[in-house]
Amino acid sequence: MHNVGLLDERQERILLVEYGKAQDSAEHHERLGWQARSILWASSFLLIGYSFTTDWPPLVVAPIAGLGILLVCLARVWDWRLGKTKQAKYNRCKEIERRLGMAQHSSTQRDCWKRTFAWIITVILVATWGLRVAFELVPTLNLDLRSGPAVQIHVSDSQATSIDNPQQPGSGS
């Protein structure tokens, strides 16, 4: 087999079985993580959609948003916990590879795009919930954000022109 001279054939078979089990377990934990995240993210997205189509009182939206954000946070915690287990299993695979002279996992780089994608979805969901609450609570706080610019320009009567009489101001006619 792959014996590098330090192990007898029985030890090598045991390590190969352990290697296979560790790899299966790591793949299982990765799939489980994506399944859990997908369910929790979808639940939060559905709750966002439902919150926009339902006429809830403004003070009910905040606890609903809290539930949506809690779902997103649970997805991150679940991801962190399963990720630690997955990484421990892959580390065991790498250790066995070193002992057997193999390089399947030792020669590959980690996929950072998966983690980046998960954080992007998390930020989108939390920001959407924050905006949902803000747009719901701003009218109840009697803040008029549509009143126009903060700087107002005043024009005196002598400088104003009329739509009916478009003469230059001060022309004397």
Give the list of residues 6+ apart from residue 38 with CB closer than 8 angstroms, or none.
none
- Region 75-87: mean pLDDT is 92
What b/e sequence results for 108-143 when a residue is b if at least 16 CB atoms lie within 10 Å of its CB, and e otherwise? eeeeeeeeeebeebbeebbebbeebbeebeeeeeee
Q: Identify the band that residue 155 occupies on the pLDDT scale cut at 50, 70 and 90.
A: low
Query: Which residue ranges make up each domain of the chain?
Result: 9-139
Global pTM? 0.65
What is the sign, positive or negative, of the torsion defined by CA atoms of 56, 60, 64, 65?
Answer: positive
Q: Are 38 and 46 in contact (CB under 8 A)?
A: no
Q: What integer best gives the mean pLDDT of the chain?
A: 81
Q: Identify the band that residue 1 occupies on the pLDDT scale cut at 50, 70 and 90.
A: very low
